[in-house]
Chains A and B, each alone.
Chain A
Amino acid sequence: MPDSILMTTLSNGLAVHLKEIHTAPIISNWLWYRVGSRNETTGRTGISHWVEHMQFKGTPQFPSSVLDKAISREGGAWNAFTYLDWTTFFETLPAEKVDMGLRLEADRMVNAIYDPEEVASERTVIISEREGIEDEPLFRLGEAVQEAAFSVHPYRHEVIGYLSDLKTMQRDDLYNHYRTYYCPNNAVLAIAGDFDAQEMLARVRELYEGIPAGPRPPRPAVVEPLSAAEKRLTVEGPGETTYVQIAYHAPAASNSDFYAFTVLDSLLSGPSGLNMFGGGGISNKTSRLYRAMVEKELAVNVNGGLTASIDPYLYDITITVRPQKSPEAALAALDSEIKRVQDQLVSPEEIARAIKQAKALFAYGSENITNQAFWLGYAEMFAHYDWFTSYVERLAAVAPADVQQIAQDYLHSRNRVVGTYLPKNEGEKNS
């Protein structure tokens, strides 16, 4: 957990978070932008993710042909992710090679080319990515549930965007999105590893402080209206397996309810931590939903997850229904468990257990420098860094009555979408 962190903001608005870790000769460098699918408008869905891809296509100083080779040559790991509220780029490198990552990110914050031919080639790659995940029943179900859960908020579409938009967006749309959101005053630079923080800050200033601030990027101010009734939907597709996904509207990460909700999730569907890399997870076989569904032979698997986001998003529970059992029976078992947690106080021991699990997950995540650097920037994307540093403490302050209150306030049917994936198997054959 956090010890000494150097946190400052450069004159152009770039927030810088630095953490010295001297356990291995490695440095992990992350640049976070406050842009994701939340910032997308009708006809431009998927643009943030596509822009992230285009950032790998080169600048005059680092053409695409040398960019990846330069990082790989040093044995570095690098990648990028786009989500609801954020897009992030990272390089983890041997410590003495980190300068390349710093220079690369400073350069492509402003100098990415967006060559029309590269845009055309990447269009087919992204459409292929979408086609690949469309073949997964849980993507198809999740997309339908997400869309039904929001009537106006941009969280209603998947990060990858609609196929129709991926076919029609143009180079200038992408470039304008890039120029609008990729500016120092909309970014956080987070670096962890084997360096001296003051010296690193001096180098960061050299590379980044000359980049001019941009106009303040637009912030969506859409508030999703309260749902008037439960929504139910069915998706049909190939396969033999039935899935049910239940999505409840959940609080924003900055809402104080979020912590009690996290404990509730841990009791219902098992612990999930904040690790992006490494560490592994903890199984959920003693969670209430596993016992009520898998142990009662209604399902073969159940899991749940709460997402930390700027605006209220979803708490979803996904059930893999046992063959020959009905989705209705699994849903009835879920409802019965939810009623139990609404009617009866959970024990302090159950909460203490959830806290120990959260601490263990932090210990596992701390083994990995890339993961520690990820933590340095992550919470800034939807709240503040202290959201992260106080996370376990805030979980420990949750009382049984808080958990009950959350179950009563959020886990009611009007607040949810129930989606069912029904398989229509046409069989397979070989040729």
Chain B
Amino acid sequence: MSAPVKATRNTLPGADDITRVVLHNGITVLARPNFSSLSVVVNGYLAVGSLFDSDEKLGLAHFTGLSLMRGTARRSFQQIYDALESVGASLGFGAGVHSTGFNGHALAEDLPLLLDLLAETLRQPVFPTEQVERLRAQLLTGLAIRAQDTQEMSSLTFDQVVFDGHPYRRPEDGYVETIQATKVEDLVAFHRKYFGPRHIVVVVVGAVDPARAVEQVERVLGSWENPEQPDLPALPALHPLEQTVRKHVYIPGKSQADLVMGSSGPTRRSPDYISASLGNNILGQFGMMGRIGDVVREQSGLAYYASSSLSAGVGPGSWEVSAGVNPANLDKAIGMIQSEILRFVKEPVSGDELSDSQANYIGRLPLSLESNGGVAGALVNLERYDLGLDYYRKYADMVHRVTPESILEAACRYLDPEKLAIASAGPEGMAS
């Protein structure tokens, strides 16, 4: 006998249970009900990101996004948070390269309040000087902590190498000097110029009727206009590395080194994205972190963590292997990872490895969609990358179409063992 279960139902989101409406001012609203929960999630984004930042004021989009909650024409900072926290709700903003994202969570009965606050903070922020200065102190402290974090510094250095000459080389949260150089007037001007309804996506998931959700979004954001709102600038071409580049950031007093190595990767809409993604799963995710985890952690015990990841977005992504190692083992770990990357681009993965990862991808999808937040994140991705409302229903077929050959092709397109970015941060300078 094996464990008894009910018959599996299709709970994946699709065109028949996602409501999608474009408001007349360009805002796209997606909604999906879930009445088995008591709560509601509101996620989404605006087309405002660090691509608009100058080098001198890098971090301006991020600073502006975080300042939205610091006071509006109707409420002070304390009044905004009092309204939210009194009902156990949350709302926050964060800026990336291409967009400023928001996410909110509330009991379903408090959805109108959550949307009121979302609209107010987006449309009528007042950037009070006192509050902006408090936020600046927090941002500067965050940057000081980042400078001491071996994982963050290795990752930041990796981006600088892989995306040399491209906007993606820059950290969205800026640097100490750029945050210090940013004035309150810069935030006000940035908001006035770039914030507007075009390309906004709002996703509502939870215990609310979808038509009612759309109606409520329209109530608070439907009248917003900004005729001057510009489009994001086009991305320049990325020039791949011509040889391996290694950099080490020396941070005294640390006992562990963090390592990130790899190269650029596909965009999310690339035809080879799904092959690269499954290949990455085999390389450094599946089970206890794939082949990389097996060699660097399980067999040699060199690291507490070792894995690979594929970050794919609007523009070129990154394909990176990361590990945390004792500094004495840094070179050894780099050598092992290089050997695994070499093997990965020389030989196709085995049929067993592929079928394991295919089963993993298909099996884990429902797990990632069990909470309102999980579904909302999935719907945001549908819209951001124009994947189609039935994407998750077609997902298993797409995964099954991947072959060892298509993975090898994708691996060879992006990973060249002779042209890797190798970034590390830790107690000793070991760069060659």
Contacts and interface: CB of A to CB of B under 8 A. Distances in A.
Partners in one complex: yes
Contact of A363 (B38, B90, B157): B38
Interface in B263-312: 286-288, 297-304
Interface in A96-135: 96-99, 102, 120-129, 131-132, 134-135
B401 interface: no
B5 A95 contact: yes
A291 B85 CA distance: 14
B3 to A, nearest CB: 4
A260 to B, nearest CB: 20
A409 interface: no
B130 to A, nearest CB: 9
A270 B84 CA distance: 12
A191 to B, nearest CB: 9
Interface string B132-158: 001001101100110110100100010
A305 interface: no
A195 B6 contact: yes
A360 B106 contact: yes
Contacts of A360: 39, 87-89, 106-107
Given A75-B360, A77-B367, A98-B5, A285 B141 contact: no
A65 to B, nearest CB: 9
B402 to A, nearest CB: 16
Interface string A50-77: 0000001000000010001101111111
A280 B365 contact: no
B87 A73 contact: no
Given A99-B2, A121-B300, A363-B37, A283 B85 contact: yes
A129 B297 CA distance: 11
A353 B56 CA distance: 44
Interface residues of B, number: 85
A25 B301 CA distance: 37
Contacts of A127: 326
A300 interface: yes
B137 A300 contact: yes
Interface in B101-119: 103, 105-107
Nearest to A240: B144
Given A428-B147, A429-B250, A322 B287 contact: no
A280 B90 contact: yes
B179 interface: no
A203 interface: yes
A289 to B, nearest CB: 14
B107 A363 contact: yes
B255 A364 contact: no
Interface in B325-373: 325-326, 356, 359-367, 369-373
B286 A239 contact: no
A199 interface: yes
Contacts of A122: 301
A95 B85 contact: no
B376 to A, nearest CB: 11
A68 B288 contact: yes
Interface in A390-431: 424, 426-431
Given A135-B255, A323-B140, A430 B106 contact: no
A262 interface: no
B227 interface: no
A244 to B, nearest CB: 14
Given A77-B367, A131-B256, A240-B147, A430 B304 contact: no
A366 B37 contact: yes
Interface string A232-244: 0000011111000
B248 A430 contact: yes
B84 A120 contact: no
Contacts of A367: 34, 37, 39, 370-373
Nearest to A428: B251
Interface string B238-270: 000000000111111111100000000000000
Nearest to A360: B88
Nearest to A291: B78
A129 B326 CA distance: 10
B86 interface: yes
B39 A364 contact: yes
B210 interface: no
Contacts of B4: 195-196, 199-200, 202-203
B212 interface: no
Nearest to A57: B298
A271 B247 contact: no
B216 to A, nearest CB: 19
Contacts of B140: 323
A52 to B, nearest CB: 14
B246 to A, nearest CB: 9
A27 B429 contact: no
Contacts of B252: 238, 426-428
Contacts of B414: none
Interface of B: 1-6, 8-9, 11, 34, 36-39, 77-78, 81-82, 84-90, 92, 103, 105-107, 134, 137-138, 140-141, 144-145, 147-148, 150, 153, 157, 247-256, 286-288, 297-304, 324-326, 356, 359-367, 369-374, 429-431
Given A27-B5, A360-B88, A431-B248, 11 more contacts: A25-B5, A69-B286, A75-B360, A124-B326, A134-B256, A203-B4, A206-B1, A285-B81, A300-B137, A357-B85, A431-B250
24 contacts: A23-B36, A72-B356, A121-B298, A124-B301, A125-B304, A128-B301, A134-B255, A202-B1, A206-B1, A279-B373, A280-B105, A285-B81, A286-B78, A286-B81, A322-B137, A353-B86, A356-B88, A363-B107, A367-B34, A367-B371, A427-B252, A430-B157, A430-B247, A430-B249
